[in-house]
Amino acid sequence: MYEKHLECRSCGKKIELGMKYTCPVCEGILELKYDYEAMKEDALLLDDKEHKGMWKYSHMLPVRDKGNIVTLGEGATPLLRCCRLEKEYNMSAFLYLKAESLNPSGSFKDRPSSVGISAAKEYGAKRVVIASSGNASAAAAAYCAGTGMECIVFVPEGIDASKVTQAAAYGAAVIPVAGNYSNSYKMALECSSKYGWPNITSTFLNPYTVEADKTAAYEIWEQLGECMPDYVVIPIASGPLLVGMYKGFQELVHLGIASPESRLPAMIGVQSEQCMPVTKAYLEHTAKVYGWELPIHTIAGGISDPLIGYEQDGELTLKTALESGGRMSCLSEEEIADAMQQIETKTGLYCEPTSAAAVGAAARLYKEGVIAPGTKVVCMLTGHGFKYSGRKPFVQKVISSIEELPI
């Protein structure tokens, strides 16, 4: 409703709206720009009474005809205070989990998929293409099924079978590509270029999908009693969730919805030590991100993106984290696995390893004095435990009487 044009984040080139992916001048990342002055005149920015969940914020999203909205009820996910985790990690900060795992297909990717496919529908598309390391494939397939659109999904070979099975169950054409995620990304780009299929890959490629991530910020602000968190900790691959959420917090202040004195949260991105191109740049105090060329062996498949060929995504994420007063962090495989166990046994939330990285990083950064006592820390729980099939199978002796109880 209020979107004006696309604008290159690098050179400032203004481009008319449409399914466009990079700046024609410098190949920079495109961002949707809005008429904020017109927005300020609308008293219902955060309350579209015709829609629920994420689309309660439809006025803040780039779909002009609300009849084109494709939704499965995504958004409005719980924000849960986790006192037992605070105690486990000896934290005197307030630790919250934003349970994005409870979205319809089981991950935060439902938000960008809903907006991306709604925008594709608005531009008359009958088929979309996406590259995914897992969660986005299932989300895109689910939303395409809901609207009758064909979905072509490119995934890296060796992807967790549970995620491929879910996407295929929704009717998508799931196609494994040799090599890592970057090769799947290139394949989707080629199809989009050659056949004109909208590319809804949820990196920074599609400027419409990134806008959806703002809605998680709006929800957190409301759920905290119209208050900003002090820190938001996010598992990242290329980082659109971090950048999109920060834009959402900025919009709340810019539009006068939140107090002008509100202090924006520090955004903290987390990666695995097995694939950490953005964290490596942070640790080396450079703005330049290089693709990850080393072998990748991590249980956190959702953040195993080497960024080869689109390193500027990582550079934008790093820039945003630093501008917010945040940083990048990384965890070992043992730390990720331990955090996953602690979340599941202390909160009852079944989560995949990628999600657990946020909590593990929050605990480590509190111990290191980066996160201060008495502050509000929100960890994004990005994916459900059913997304991960690498757990040891449950085995227990069968009993026939209570005398045989193994407790």
| Burial (CB count <10 Å: 0-12, 13-18, 19+), residue 80 | middle
DSSP 55-92: GGGGGGSS-SSGGG---SS-----EEE-HHHHHHTT--
> Roughly how many angstroms between the first and final C-alpha of the chain, as a whole number?
60
pLDDT score of 306: 93
**Ordered structural domains, the chain, with CATH:** 3-69+109-208 (3.40.50.1100), 79-107+213-387 (3.40.50.1100)
Enter the tokens of residue 123: 């531009």
Tell me the HSE value of 57 on the side-chain side, using a 13 A CA sphere: 26
Taken as a whole, the chain contains a residue count of 407
86's CB contacts (< 8 A; 6+ apart) are 92, 93, 94, 95
pLDDT score of 45: 66
pLDDT score of 243: 98
C-beta separation of 163 from 181 below 8 A: no
Read off the pTM: 0.95
C-beta separation of 51 from 58 below 8 A: yes
Enter the tokens of residue 42: 């609308």
Dihedral, CA atoms, 339, 342, 343, 346, nearest 10 degrees? Answer: -160
pLDDT score of 28: 97
**β partners of residue 32:** 6
pLDDT score of 43: 55
Enter the tokens of residue 49: 């009474």
Listed residue (166, 176, 177, 175) closest to 143, CA to CA: 166
pLDDT score of 394: 82
Distance CA 382, CA 384 (A): 7
**pLDDT by residue for the chain (407 residues), tens digit each?**
789 999 999 999 999 999 999 999 999 999 999 999 888 876 556 777 788 899 999 989 999 999 999 999 999 999 999 999 999 999 999 999 999 999 999 999 999 999 999 999 999 999 999 998 778 999 999 999 989 999 999 998 888 777 788 999 999 999 999 998 889 999 999 999 999 999 999 899 999 999 999 999 999 999 999 999 999 999 999 999 999 999 999 999 999 999 999 999 999 999 999 999 999 999 999 999 999 999 999 999 999 999 999 999 999 999 999 999 999 999 999 999 999 999 999 999 999 999 999 999 999 999 999 999 999 999 999 999 998 888 888 888 898 999 989 88
Neighbours of 127 (CB within 10 A): 16
Neighbours of 193 (CB within 10 A): 11
Report H helices in 231-310: 240-254, 277-283
Distance CA 246, CA 227 (A): 14
330's CB contacts (< 8 A; 6+ apart) are 270, 271, 272, 273, 276, 279, 361
Residue 183 Rama label (left phi>0; alpha psi -120 to 50; beta): alpha
Q: What is the three-class DSSP state of 327?
A: strand
Residue with tokens 């949707």: 32
Enter the tokens of residue 119: 């925008």
